[in-house]
């Protein structure tokens, strides 16, 4: 049986055809029906099913993430409270503007109390940071080596944050030791200073935008 024979087949011919031909025709019809069903009906349903599975996985992951957050909520609150307390304790170590003179006096007294002689004690220019200002102080003192160590220890134990930098010790002409160093102290900026700083930053950004145009 060739293609022309298949095209000329009638229902009567199919009914009288041998069983093998009937089975072949049924198989062809079945394949065509399956193809048409998938193309017009099942394809869209399979795509919708895949989309629903993806959405289910996304929702499941979102649920598990929120569940973990809910379980750890108390831990997060405690951590946040600890951070706030630590930050508050650190902030208390920063003097305000009116307390800086007292801090400078404490540093000076720490040196004098150890028998050191100040040849230079010169505060520099403050450098504003995010919420605080850094003040460098150039110092030059003479004394004994152990007195320098005691002075450094006393400065470290002050209630305010004070750090020593660029320390250089060399013999003095009088047989003593000379120490050159930079002391850095810090204070927090008040509300007016913070507002002025934000205003200056905004003005700088606006100027850069204007230059680009």
**Which tens digit of pLDDT belongs to each residue from 53-73?**
788 788 888 877 777 776 666
Asked whether the beta carbons of 92 and 118 are under 8 A apart, the reply is no
Asked whether the beta carbons of 96 and 190 are under 8 A apart, the reply is yes
pLDDT band for 138, please (50, 70, 90 cuts): very high
The ranges assigned to domains in the chain are 1-71, 95-195
pLDDT band for 182, please (50, 70, 90 cuts): very high
**Which tens digit of pLDDT belongs to each residue from 30-55?**
666 666 666 655 555 656 667 777 88
- DSSP characters for 160-194? S-EEEEEEEEEE-TTSSEEEEEEEEEEEE--HHHH
- Return the minimum-mean-pLDDT range out of 13-17, 21-25, 96-100: 13-17
Residue 186 CA from chain centroid, whole number: 24
Distance (Å, rounded) from C-alpha 207 to C-alpha 147?
Answer: 52
What residue spans of 18-159 are helical by DSSP H? 19-37, 43-71, 73-92, 100-113, 145-156
The listed CATH number (2.30.30.30, 3.30.1540.20, 3.40.50.11900, 3.30.70.60) that belongs to domain 95-195: 3.30.70.60
pLDDT at 3: 44
pLDDT at 173: 74
At 93, is the secondary structure helix, strand, or coil? coil
**Which tens digit of pLDDT belongs to each residue from 108-135?**
899 999 999 999 999 998 888 777 888 8
| Residue given tokens 């002689």 in the structure block | 117
| Residue given tokens 């394949």 in the structure block | 31
Q: Based on the number of CB atoms within 10 Å of its own CB, is 111 exposed (0-12), middle (13-18) or buried (19 or more)?
A: buried
């Amino acid at each position: 049986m060739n293609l022309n024979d298949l095209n000329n087949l009638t229902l009567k011919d199919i009914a009288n055809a041998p069983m093998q031909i009937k089975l072949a025709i049924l198989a062809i019809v079945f394949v065509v029906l399956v193809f048409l069903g998938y193309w017009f009906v099942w394809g869209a349903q399979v795509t919708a099913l895949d989309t629903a599975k993806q959405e289910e996985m996304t929702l499941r992951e979102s649920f598990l993430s929120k569940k973990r957050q809910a379980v750890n909520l108390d831990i997060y609150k405690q951590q946040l409270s600890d951070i706030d307390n630590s930050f508050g304790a650190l902030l208390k170590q920063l003097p305000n503007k009116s307390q800086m003179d007292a801090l400078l006096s404490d540093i000076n007294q720490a040196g004098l109390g150890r028998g050191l002689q100040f040849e230079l004690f010169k505060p520099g220019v403050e450098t504003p940071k995010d919420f605080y200002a850094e003040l460098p102080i150039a110092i030059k003192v003479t004394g004994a080596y152990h007195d320098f160590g005691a002075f450094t220890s006393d400065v470290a134990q002050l209630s305010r944050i004070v750090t020593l930098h660029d320390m250089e010790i060399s013999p003095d002409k009088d047989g003593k030791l000379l120490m050159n160093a930079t002391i850095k102290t810090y204070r927090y900026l008040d509300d007016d200073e913070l507002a002025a700083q934000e205003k200056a930053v905004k003005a700088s950004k606006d100027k850069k935008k204007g230059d680009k145009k």
